[in-house]
Amino acid sequence: RMGQAIAAGIDAEAGMEVAGIWSRGGDLDALVGAADVVIDFSLPDGTLQVLDAVIRHGKPLVCGVSGLGDEHMQRIAEAATTIPVVYDRNMSIGIAVLTRAVRDAAASLGPDFDVRIAEVHHVHKKDAPSGTALKLGEAIAAARGEQGTGSVQFESERRGEVPGEHEVVMRSPTETLTLGHSVTTRQVFADGAIRAARWVVDQVPGRYRMSDVLFAG
């Protein structure tokens, strides 16, 4: 589904065209060789193959695959020494803005505020908390000088076909600050990836996030 959404988004973009869509058993090397930039929304196993191919061909990569483990992160770091890689657990532009906002809010409010992140996704999503919730929690914890997700509390709900909802609540005994983001269609992730693809082709080798796409420079 994401492949179709990305293809549809690229077709609507001036100056961009789809070089091809890879499926298991297809010729990945031929596709990567013909492309100026590769967008990966496959599965963790597929991502390892994609990383090998973009390293071989020296092509920029945008990766939005969720559920990646330590091996994937090591391979992404290795790839980023020779090619520019945009990797983010959420390709939404709004989430990039929300991440910056909650980081700034946490730094300003300090440690006296309790922080809770609630997220809702479709019933097919198995991981909880979501990668995006963890990304938000890590940004907040770092702003407060904590490790990992620090003292941030998480709530996860799986129902229906909800593409994604995240709410960050920062509460003290006297006031509450609430920041949130909701997605109405998964096309938003494709659109963010396409924006990242336009941006990454002009970058030097390195590891980038959506915040770099939006705010760098």
pLDDT tens-digit readout, 20-72:
999 877 899 999 999 999 999 988 889 999 999 999 999 999 999 888 889 99
- Beta bridge partners of residue 183, listed in sequence order: 164
pLDDT at 104: 96
Q: In terms of Cα–Cα distance, which of 80, 45, 78, 71 is closest to 62? A: 80
Could you tell me the maximum CA-CA distance found in the chain, to the nearest angstrom? 61
pLDDT tops 60 at residue 89: yes
Residue 142 pLDDT greater than 70, yes or no: yes
Tokens 């077709």 -> residue: 11
Mean pLDDT for all residues in the chain: 94
d(CA 80, CA 105): 31
What's the rounded mean pLDDT across residues 191-203? 96
Return the closest-CA partner of residue 178 out of 117, 100, 128, 94.
Answer: 117
Query: In the beta sheet, which residues pair with residue 169?
Result: 116, 178
184 pLDDT higher than 70: yes
Decide if 181 is catalytic: no
The question of whether 126 is a catalytic residue gets the answer: no
Position 34 scores a pLDDT of: 94
> Is the Cβ–Cβ distance between 49 and 24 less than 8 Å?
no
Total-model pTM: 0.87
Where residue 217 falls among pLDDT bands split at 50, 70, 90? low
Considering 59, 72, 125, 166, which one is annotated as catalytic?
Answer: 125
* CB contact set of 164 (below 8 Å; sequence gap of 6+): 90, 92, 119, 120, 121, 130, 132, 182, 183
Give the pLDDT confidence score for residue 24 in this predicted structure: 76
pLDDT(210) > 80? yes
Statement: residue 2 has pLDDT above 90: no
CA distances from 202 to 29, 82, 170, 194, 199 (A): 22, 14, 38, 14, 6
Active-site option among 72, 121, 135, 166: 121
The type of residue at 95 is: I
pLDDT at 141: 97
Q: Which two tokens stand for residue 124?
A: 């097919």
Residue identified by tokens 């963790």 is: 44
% of the chain at pLDDT higher than 70: 100
